[in-house]
């Protein structure tokens, strides 16, 4: 497209709540055939709330201390809940804190190692999975201390976004680090037919590359630490405006107001401008 068309595109995009960071990617957008969407914070509001707690006070206190160091949407839910939980007092002296994207966060407290995050074996929390809860397990020295069940409502516009992308001939695929039971529930609710669950952070990029290897132009939408690589590797990387800096920096296009339905508008705009003015 001409610089003129791109300037028009950028202006029009910004009126619709999108920040265009890369003009080349905007041209590519018209040819996108696959849209990979992250779940937590992208299809869902990413403002999850703890619905169920099966933690003793000691584990709660350790989990609170750890999650206060994390930016993950689940960490916000956990800290909000545990700060108000009965019998939970703040802990001091947390050391060696380390967060692993897509897994959780761990550290050492009074000589014992604690971890909060993805369960070792989620099968034993079947009842919580059936309720659509995302699971956050707490372990001490590798031994399970309990679990939190977290629910995260859909973003308004998710259903519409999926439908409109499919109407444009784009294959919509979910990629999430969460458990298949939770992923499938969100897929059902949004009308997504293809789901990749339990995807480790590096594997989101592999998924992007696998579709690209099939000759497809791939769009990736995400919000988190674990999405940055895939956003960079995709032909068009789109970040939710509420996402982490790392995701925003890796994106070609930012949905400033977090309105996922804007994606279809962006594709339409790209097709229109590139056809008419190029
Ligand atoms: P998504 O791909 O849907 O955005 P993530 O890859 O960020 O999800 O997380 C995958 C799983 O890892 C979560 O469902 C959760 O069990 C666990 N997890 C990751 N980070 C954290 C954290 N800071 N606190 C609790 N759990 C976490
Ligand atoms: Mg996410």
Ligand 1, CB within 6 Å, residue ranges: 38-41, 67, 70, 72, 74-75, 102-105, 116-118, 134-136, 176-178, 224, 226
Which residue, among 48, 192, 21, 257, has the nearest Cα to 133 in the 3D structure?
A: 48
Q: Which of 91, 126, 151 is the last residue of a domain?
A: 151
Tens digit of pLDDT for each residue in 85-144? 888 887 889 999 999 988 999 999 999 999 999 999 999 999 999 988 999 999 999 999
Q: How confident is the model at residue 276 (pLDDT cuts 50, 70, 90)?
A: low
The CATH number given to whatever domain includes residue 267 is 3.40.50.1000
Q: Mean pLDDT score of the chain, rounded to an integer?
A: 92
pLDDT at residue 168 tops 80: yes
16 φ/ψ sector (left φ>0, alpha ψ -120 to 50, else beta) = alpha
Question: Which residues are paired to 174 by β-bridges?
Answer: 37, 195
What CA–CA distance (Å, rounded) separates 247 from 160?
23
Tens digit of pLDDT for each residue in 237-267? 999 987 778 888 999 999 998 889 889 999 9
User: Of the bound ligands, which one is closest to the alpha carbon of residue 119?
Assistant: 1
Q: Give the position of tokens 């595109």.
A: 9
Q: Structural domain tally of the chain?
A: 2
If asked whether residues 107 and 31 sit together in one domain, one would say no
What CA–CA distance (Å, rounded) separates 96 from 34?
40
- Percent share of the chain, pLDDT over 70: 98
Query: Could you tell me the distance, in angstroms and rounded to a whole number, from the CA of residue 4 to the centre of ligand 2?
Result: 35
What is the model's pLDDT at position 1? 60
pLDDT at residue 17 tops 90: no
**Domain region containing 40:** 3-45+153-277
CB 154: neighbour CB atoms within 10 A? Answer: 15
What is the model's pLDDT at position 278? 46
Give the ipTM. Answer: 0.94
Which residue, among 224, 243, 274, 266, has the nearest Cα to 35 in the 3D structure?
A: 266
If asked whether residues 147 and 183 sit together in one domain, one would say no
What CA–CA distance (Å, rounded) separates 263 from 266?
5
Beta-carbon contacts of 196 under 8 Å, excluding residues fewer than 6 positions away, are 173, 174, 175, 176, 207
DSSP three-state, residue 185: helix
What CA–CA distance (Å, rounded) separates 208 from 35?
9
The CATH number given to whatever domain includes residue 89 is 3.40.1110.10
Q: How confident is the model at residue 275 (pLDDT cuts 50, 70, 90)?
A: low
């Amino acid at each position: 497209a001409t610089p003129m068309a791109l300037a028009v595109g950028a202006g029009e995009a910004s009126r619709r709540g999108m920040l265009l960071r890369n003009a080349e990617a905007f041209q590519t957008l018209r040819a996108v055939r696959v849209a990979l969407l992250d779940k937590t914070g992208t299809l869902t509001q990413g403002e999850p709330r703890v619905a169920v707690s099966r933690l003793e006070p000691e584990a709660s206190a350790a989990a609170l201390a750890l999650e206060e160091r994390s930016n993950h949407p689940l960490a916000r839910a956990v800290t909000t809940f545990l700060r108000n939980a009965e019998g939970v007092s703040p802990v001091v002296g947390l050391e060696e804190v380390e967060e692993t994207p897509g897994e959780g966060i761990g550290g050492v407290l009074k000589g014992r190692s604690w971890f909060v995050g993805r369960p070792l074996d989620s099968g034993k929390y079947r009842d919580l999975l059936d309720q659509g809860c995302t699971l956050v397990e707490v372990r001490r020295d590798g031994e399970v201390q309990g679990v939190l069940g977290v629910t995260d409502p859909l973003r308004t516009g998710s259903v519409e976004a999926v439908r409109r992308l499919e109407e444009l001939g784009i294959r919509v695929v979910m990629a999430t680090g969460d458990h298949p039971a939770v992923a499938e529930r969100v897929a059902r609710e949004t009308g997504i037919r293809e789901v990749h669950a339990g995807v480790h952070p590096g594997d989101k990029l592999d998924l992007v590359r696998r579709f690209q290897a099939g000759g497809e132009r791939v769009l990736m939408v995400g919000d988190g630490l674990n999405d940055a690589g895939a956003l960079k590797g995709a032909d068009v990387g789109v970040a939710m405006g509420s996402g982490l800096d790392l995701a925003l920096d890796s994106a070609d296009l930012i949905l400033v107001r977090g309105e996922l339905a804007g994606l279809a508008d962006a594709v339409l705009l790209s097709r229109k401008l590139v056809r008419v003015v190029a």
